[in-house]
Structure 1
Amino acid sequence: MSGTKKSKHVVVLCHPEPDSFNAAVAAKYCAVVRESGQQAVLRDLYRMKFDPILQGNERPGSATFHQSPHVAHELDIIADAAFLVFVYPIWFGTPPAMLKGYVDRVLGSDFSFRAVKRRDNKSRLAGTHLLSLTSSGTSQMWLDEQGAWQSLVTVFDHYLERAFSMASTEHVHFSSIVDDLSERFFGQYMQEVLEAAHKSCSIVREDVSAGECTAYDPALDRQVEPSEDF
């Protein structure tokens, strides 16, 4: 582990609509975490106008490598997170391009493919838990039949866990999310988010007891905002 983590959950939301199902998932997760006495920091990529395009000089190892202030700001936010939570819709079998850009530009900013290949455990995310909360308009069965589900879990969840020496990964998926989703199913899904958040908080408390995390002090909390638009 790169250092002791704080009892902080960084929730990275990636959906263009501010009133989307995914936005409701992110809001619910953050609310439950805060009610549990832990810290939740929301990074809404579309509201932040995050630029997902990786420039040539942003690649680690490049002779002209330059880390932008925006990326450095994001790295500071996630560096001491006990949980990194991705909230996004599955589009064409993969995460939205903006989230992949966040991985490329932020997570990979100071950690090259060479470091991944040699299993370097000095990543800033070493020891962080990864949780994905995703949605799709199709059924889980359909994703399985297309091979999309297993591919996504393999190349995104488990790859990131191993590449950055993360402590664990878990994926909670909500299928058949449509515009006219009934209140009953919406409430059921929000209950699943609540349970996932409680589970995450329980893991953090266990890590605190083991000395792998420091307890969250609300008196030291502050609202984290983007340094400026990307």
Structure 2
Amino acid sequence: MKHLIVYAHPYPESLNHAILETTVNTLKKNDNEVVVRDLYALDFQPVLKPEDTAAMKAGNTPNDIKTEQEFIAEADVITFIYPIWWTGLPAILKGYVDRVFAFGFAYSAGEEGTIKLLKGKKGLIINTHGHPNEVYDEMGMTAGLKVTSDTGIFDFTGIEPVDHLLFGSIGYLDEEAYKGMLKKVEDTINSHFS
């Protein structure tokens, strides 16, 4: 299978980066093809500008958007790895979705409503956040994050969400807990893509 990983974390020493490495290594061990798009390393420009929209309407998709759309089109599985900041996606990833998951590429509209243009692909999301999982669960944030991303981005465009891992209390745990999280990532990848 062809996997596209869209990664959004600015620090190479982060847990997110360890999650990225674990994901890549596990997929490759299972003979999957993997492409990583590290949005910070790419210095991806996240702001959707009026000229972007005008160019796409005219059939002249800007090169940076077209490149990312080609990676998505070729992928069987799309994985997002990112931290939860202010109960949502980091700005660089939100801008990626705004610009790349564009009308006419990821979705369209017809008489019956939304037309999902990315059907046949699977999606996985892996998140970290500082609050304990129990706090996010009790306040409804865990469910809200899943609806916003799994349903609002992936399912809306036809990508089938296969899993969504949320790791809480980041920055407050011991090394064994973090190793356990990486093991959970490995096990999840193996269960879906081996």
TM over 0.5: yes
Q: Alpha carbon RMSD of aligned pairs, Å?
A: 2.2
Residue 19 of structure 1 and its aligned partner are, at CA, apart by: 1.5
Are 1:190 and 2:182 an aligned pair? yes
Match of 2:153 among 156, 160, 171: 160
Summarize the Cα distance change of 1:140–1:75 in structure 2 as closer, same or farther, 3 Å threshold.
Answer: same
Report how many residues are paired.
Answer: 193
CA offset digits 1:158-211 (Å, max 9, x no partner): 122332112334201111110x64221121111001011112314xxxxxxxxx
Are 1:102 and 2:103 an aligned pair? no
Aligned position for 1:18: 12
TM-score, structure 2 normalization: 0.89
Mapping of 1:172-187 within 5 angstroms?
172-178=165-171, 181-187=173-179
Aligned position for 1:55: 49
- C-alpha distance in 1 between matches for 2:20 and 2:190: 14
Contact (CA 8 Å) 2:107, 2:115: kept in 1 or not?
no
Which shows bigger deviation, 60-69 or 87-96? Answer: 60-69
Residue 34 of structure 1 and its aligned partner are, at CA, apart by: 0.4
- C-alpha distance in 2 between matches for 1:26 and 1:186: 13
Unaligned runs of 5+ in 1: 1-6, 203-230
Q: What is the percent sequence identity of the aligned residues? A: 28
State the one-letter code of the partner of 1:74: E
Normalized per residue, the structure richer in strand is 2
SS at match of 1:115: strand
Summarize the Cα distance change of 1:82–1:105 in structure 2 as closer, same or farther, 3 Å threshold.
Answer: same
Aligned position for 1:72: 66
State the one-letter code of the partner of 1:127: G
Summarize the Cα distance change of 1:8–1:119 in structure 2 as closer, same or farther, 3 Å threshold.
Answer: same
Higher relative CO (CA 8 A, sep ≥ 6), structure 1 or 2? 1
Unaligned runs of 5+ in 2: none
Which shows bigger deviation, 68-77 or 167-176? Answer: 167-176
